[in-house]
């Protein structure tokens, strides 16, 4: 696994040991960022970060800041190691918390993101999709982009309460990707 493009192109990334983390493949990450478009000077939220590959790729491609969230201390340590190896620790924050607590804390802190990247465990997504949209919405800047990875065998997730102005659903092997562009957030 490596950074695909940007200032850190080709740099290797480490993933947490074990099967609990499923890092996004290089070719899927490249496709995602082609769909998302330019990131400068966007703040990025990488929720269910695992290895941090999505957030680190965003930083390499010009994102101004990334918040990488994972409930696993092992994953957080791996992300922190990747940040240090790339010299990106000053442009990122690692949060060790489950997604609900993390989003509540981000709201309380007044954080706003132009891109939110969600790569939850595939088996978890159907159970949380209904509550994920409302929890995420207050953190999204007008015109934000939400990227959701899911099992290609499952239908694309409907994230309730996100005022989508556009949506693209793609399949890359076993990985489904939904890119949702947010309209006005009232």
Q: What is the pLDDT of residues 75-130, one digit of tens each?
A: 999 999 999 999 999 999 999 999 999 999 999 999 999 999 999 988 888 889 88
What is the three-class DSSP state of 178? strand
Q: What is the mean pLDDT of residues 9-30?
A: 81
Which pLDDT band holds residue 63 (cuts at 50, 70, 90)?
Answer: very high
pLDDT at 54: 96
What sign for the dihedral angle of Cα 10, 3, 15, 173? negative
Distance of CA 100 to CAs 50, 71, 83, 128, Å? 16, 10, 24, 10
Residue 174 reports pLDDT greater than 80: yes
Judge contact between 67 and 139, C-beta under 8 A.
no
Which pLDDT band holds residue 65 (cuts at 50, 70, 90)?
Answer: very high
Which pLDDT band holds residue 17 (cuts at 50, 70, 90)?
Answer: confident
Residue 186 reports pLDDT greater than 60: no
Task: List the end-to-end C-alpha distance of the chain, in Å, as a whole number.
Answer: 40
pLDDT > 70 in the chain, percent = 96
Distance of CA 74 to CAs 13, 52, 79, 124, Å? 15, 12, 9, 20
């Amino acid at each position: 696994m490596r950074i695909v493009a940007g200032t850190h192109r080709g740099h290797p990334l480490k993933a947490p040991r074990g099967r609990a983390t499923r890092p996004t493949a290089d070719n899927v990450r490249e496709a995602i960022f082609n769909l998302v478009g330019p990131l400068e000077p966007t703040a990025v939220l990488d929720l269910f970060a695992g290895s941090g590959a999505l957030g680190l790729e965003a930083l390499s491609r010009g994102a101004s800041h990334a918040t990488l969230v994972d409930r696993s201390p092992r994953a957080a340590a791996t992300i922190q190691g990747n940040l240090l190896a790339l010299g990106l620790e000053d442009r990122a924050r690692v949060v060790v918390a489950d997604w609900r607590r993390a989003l509540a804390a981000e709201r309380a802190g007044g954080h706003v993101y132009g891109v939110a990247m969600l790569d939850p465990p595939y088996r978890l997504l159907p159970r949380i999709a209904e509550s994920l949209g409302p929890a995420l919405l207050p953190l999204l800047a007008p015109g934000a982009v939400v990227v959701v990875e899911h099992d290609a065998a499952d239908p694309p997730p409907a994230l309730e309460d996100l005022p989508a102005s556009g949506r693209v659903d793609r399949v890359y092997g076993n990985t489904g990707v939904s890119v949702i562009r947010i309209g006005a957030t009232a």
